């Protein structure tokens, strides 16, 4: 694998372990309605699917569809009140980003998280705050699995998409990366549920820790 022109990263489940704060917000919504709470072992594997994925899991498809706007509004307001209480960088992310900077490999974030939450969250992590190109779920009219957010990031970085890598922990990440013509890498340490089969997503590589990405550069 030759040296990439840039490496683009998904945020939730790839750079940041956001599941505990996402799960806490979900449980605040449920608690307010005297509903049964969801355990970390249940919400963590679906945390990359955002508010819609978490609420759909807790309420079931029919009730979620019926109450979607109201539930998402409640969830987002709780999440935004306590967005960086328990969230941390995955172990090794800080060293990984420092290494990439040293090797002068540009980095960007392409997330489906809405802009308002992303800009609220990133300043809590100085290692990420230095990343200038950040494309969010509502930056464009379309989000991942569309390749457009990834292509938007490559335009901002002034690099050719086909020379870039995209690292993510969800099938939609790999779909977007493949459609953008990038090398795709599954962050296997992220939020992947037991019923998913990442080996069938068509990715080029898998990493079990963030720092394993460096092995792909050599
Ligand atoms: O919040 C979401 O919808 C998921 O965010 P991600 O794309 O960074 O995994």
CATH number of the domain residue 134 falls in? 3.40.50.1000
The answer to whether residues 154 and 131 touch, using CB atoms and an 8 Å cutoff, is no
Q: Is residue 68 included in any domain, yes or no? A: yes
Beta strands in the chain (DSSP E): 6-9, 16-17, 88-89, 107-110, 133-135, 164-168, 183-187, 205-207
- What ipTM describes this predicted complex? 0.90
Question: Does residue 187 lie in a domain region?
Answer: yes
Q: Do residues 103 and 169 share a domain?
A: yes
Question: What integer best gives the mean pLDDT of the chain?
Answer: 97
Residue minimizing CA distance to atom 2 of ligand 1: 50
In a domain, 193, yes or no: yes
pLDDT band at residue 33, thresholds of 50, 70 and 90?
Answer: very high
Q: Are residues 170 and 151 in the same domain?
A: yes
Q: Are residues 61 and 93 in the same domain?
A: no
Listed residues 45, 64, 81: the one ending a domain: 81
Q: Is the pLDDT of residue 94 over 90?
A: yes
pLDDT digits (tens, 9 = 90+) for 200-213: 999 999 999 999 99
Residues 73 and 152 in one domain: no
pLDDT class for 140, splitting at 50, 70, 90? very high
Number of domains the chain contains: 2
DSSP at 162: G
| 65 lies in the same domain as 122 | no
Quick one: 171 and 143 in the same domain?
Answer: yes
Reduced 3-state DSSP string for 130-142: CCCEEECCCCCCC
pLDDT for position 42: 96
* Residue 173 and residue 102 share a domain: yes
Residue 114 placed within a domain: yes
Same-domain pairing of 149 and 201: yes
- 163-176 per-position pLDDT tens digit: 999 999 999 999 99
Give yes or no: residues 115 and 162 share one domain.
Answer: yes
Query: Helix 19-32 crosses helix 50-59 at what angle (to 10 degrees)?
Result: 40
- Determine the atom of ligand 1 nearest the C-alpha atom of 22: 1
Distance CA 64, CA 52 (A): 8
Over residues 78-105, the mean pLDDT reads: 97
| Residues 115 and 188 both lie in one domain | yes
Tell me the pLDDT band of 68, cut-offs 50, 70 and 90.
very high
- Determine the distance separating the centroid of ligand 1 and the alpha carbon of 158, expressed in angstroms: 24
Q: Is the pTM of this model over 0.90?
A: yes
State which H helix or E strand residue 205 sits in.
Answer: strand 205-207
Instruction: Give the integer Cα–Cα distance in Å for 121 and 81.
Output: 11
Residue 1: what pLDDT? 56
Active site residues: 10
Structure tokens at 2: 């030759």
DSSP letters spanning 146-159 = SSHHHHHHHHHHT-
Query: Are 62 and 94 within one domain?
Result: no
In ligand 1, which atom is closest to the CA atom of 109? Answer: 8
Write down which residue in 59, 81, 103 finishes a domain: 81
Q: Which DSSP state fits 203?
A: -
Ligand 1 center from residue 143 Cα (angstroms): 10
Please choose, from the candidates 116, 135, 127, 95, the residue with its C-alpha nearest in 3D space to the C-alpha of residue 9: 135
1 is a domain residue: no
Quick: pLDDT tens for 36-45: 999 999 999 9
Structural domain boundaries enclosing 56: 19-81
């Amino acid at each position: 694998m030759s040296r990439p022109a840039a490496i683009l990263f998904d945020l939730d489940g790839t750079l940041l372990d956001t599941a505990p704060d996402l799960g806490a917000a979900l449980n605040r919504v449920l608690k307010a309605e005297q509903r049964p709470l969801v355990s970390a072992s249940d919400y963590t594997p679906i945390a990359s699917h955002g508010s819609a994925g978490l609420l759909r899991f807790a309420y079931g498809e029919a009730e979620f569809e019926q109450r979607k706007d109201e539930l998402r509004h409640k969830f987002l307001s709780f999440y935004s009140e306590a967005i960086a209480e328990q969230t941390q960088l995955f172990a090794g992310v800080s060293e990984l980003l420092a290494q990439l900077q040293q090797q002068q490999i540009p980095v960007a974030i392409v997330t489906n998280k809405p802009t308002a939450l992303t800009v609220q969250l990133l300043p809590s992590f100085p290692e990420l705050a230095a990343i200038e190109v950040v494309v969010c779920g509502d930056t464009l009219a379309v989000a991942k699995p569309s390749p457009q957010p990834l292509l938007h990031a490559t335009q901002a970085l002034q690099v050719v998409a086909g020379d870039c890598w995209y690292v993510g922990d969800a099938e939609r990440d790999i779909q977007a990366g493949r459609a953008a013509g990038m090398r795709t890498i599954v962050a296997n340490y992220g939020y992947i549920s037991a019923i998913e089969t990442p080996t069938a997503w068509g990715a080029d590589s898998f990493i079990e820790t963030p720092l394993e990405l460096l092995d792909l550069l050599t």
